[in-house]
Chain A
């Protein structure tokens, strides 16, 4: 492959990389920088691309490292202070009745594969991620997209494991409600 072919292929993923970085960092200018660094690192590291994974997977791997670096720098700034507000568990008490049972159990979503092939489904996923509070989204993405262990996340963000569990619980419950409302319920209405 010629050098410019490779550059073109890499550039084709730019919009996707930027979406992931913005969802994670909630800072468009910083996200641009991180994506730029990722693309430069990818071009310089072409030799490291084995072709065993797809270009997208390989680029995502580089992006994850760049995002962790950016978060590491950012977590020293006061912007992370809303973490306390976002780690309150009582907010979800309304989901349960006085005896601790689900107030309104949700439907079974069935087999993931049936939805994951649909492009619009990921538009709704992005919409729901955007609706999460910023630090909640950041922690959730560190866990589920960047696949960091809980202990690594606690260390990077200087939070306790209890904070971490509450934030992840909060993110999952909120995403579940959002997907239920904007995807599953909407589909069963039109089906």
Chain B
């Protein structure tokens, strides 16, 4: 993977970002990808939504 990544790669890295920090190069590649890609930006928002959902599930 270089700095230009596909949605397929980006979506995996976006998921991985929810579980810890990515290495610098990967992080930059995701950031760059998100600047131009609405579908992956939506995917990122959905993963954050899922996290908020699961947190709310066990709290009042």
Contact A144 B38 (CB under 8 A): no
The segment out of A2-10, A40-48, A80-88, A161-169 that lies at the interface is A161-169
Give chain A residues whose Cβ lies under 8 Å from the Cβ of B55. Answer: 144
- Total chain B interface residues with beta-carbon distance under 8 A: 32
| List of A residues within 8 angstroms of B42 by Cβ | 105-108
Interface 0/1 of A99-116, CB less than 8 Å to B: 111100111110010011
Which one of B11, B43, B54 contacts A144 once the chains associate, using CB atoms below 8 Å? B54
* Chain A residue at minimal CB-CB distance from B45: A108
Residues of A within 8 A of B52 (CB): 112, 116
A125 adjacent to chain B (CB < 8 Å): yes
Q: Any chain B CB within 8 A of the CB of A175?
A: yes
Closest to A175 in B: B50
Residues A145-191 near B (CB distance < 8 A): 145, 149-150, 164-165, 168-169, 172-173, 175-176, 179
Cβ-neighbour of B49 out of A56, A112, A141, A149 (below 8 A): A112
Contact flags (1/0) for A34-57 with B, using CB distance below 8 Å?
A: 000000000000000000001011
Shortest distance from the beta carbon of A110 to any chain B beta carbon, whole Å:
9
Q: Point out the residues of chain A lying under 8 angstroms from B40, CB to CB.
A: 102
Chain A residue total in the interface (Cβ 8 A): 39
| A16, closest chain B residue (CB) | B58
**Min CB gap A64→B, angstroms:** 9
Q: Which residues of A contact B16 (CB under 8 A)?
A: 165, 169
B interface, CB within 8 angstroms of A: 6-9, 11-12, 15-16, 18-20, 38-40, 42-43, 45-60
Enumerate 18 A-B pairs (CB-CB under 8 Å) in ascending A order.
Answer: A60-B58, A95-B11, A96-B6, A96-B7, A100-B9, A102-B11, A105-B38, A106-B43, A108-B45, A112-B49, A116-B52, A116-B56, A143-B19, A144-B51, A149-B20, A169-B15, A172-B50, A176-B47
